Amino acid sequence: MKSDVFNQYVERITNLFHISKEDLFTKSKKRHLVDARQLLYYLCHRRQIQQIYIHTYMMNNGYKIEHSSVTHGIRMVEKRIKEDSDYLTVIKNLEKSVFI
């Protein structure tokens, strides 16, 4: 079931950022791709998906990531939320759009 939540978030985030799923799971450091991945980590974290599962789902999609990078990504999103209230609105809308 958690993989279904992960996959729904992937779909919503790729639509929001106008990127392909393949782009999301590339090692590119382009800002919009990094932001999209970090948002994915944060949303999964909020749904109580453990980091080991986030790591596994990323690996299943061909993206090797360290646990520390997931933690860093979550912190970066938390920082953005404090700086930009519109970002929190986007997150709430994404959270509402996943039904499981």
Q: How far apart are CA 5 and CA 70, in angstroms?
A: 17
Domains of the chain and any CATH numbers = 2-96 (1.10.1750.10)
Q: What is the pLDDT of residues 31-57, one digit of tens each?
A: 999 999 999 999 999 999 999 999 999
pLDDT attached to residue 94: 92
pLDDT attached to residue 74: 97
Q: How far apart are CA 85 and CA 4, in angstroms?
A: 28
Which helix (H) or strand (E) segment holds residue 83: the answer is: helix 67-83
Q: State both tokens at 63.
A: 């993206």
Query: Looking at the predicted structure, is the pLDDT value of residue 69 above 80?
Result: yes
Q: Give the pTM.
A: 0.93
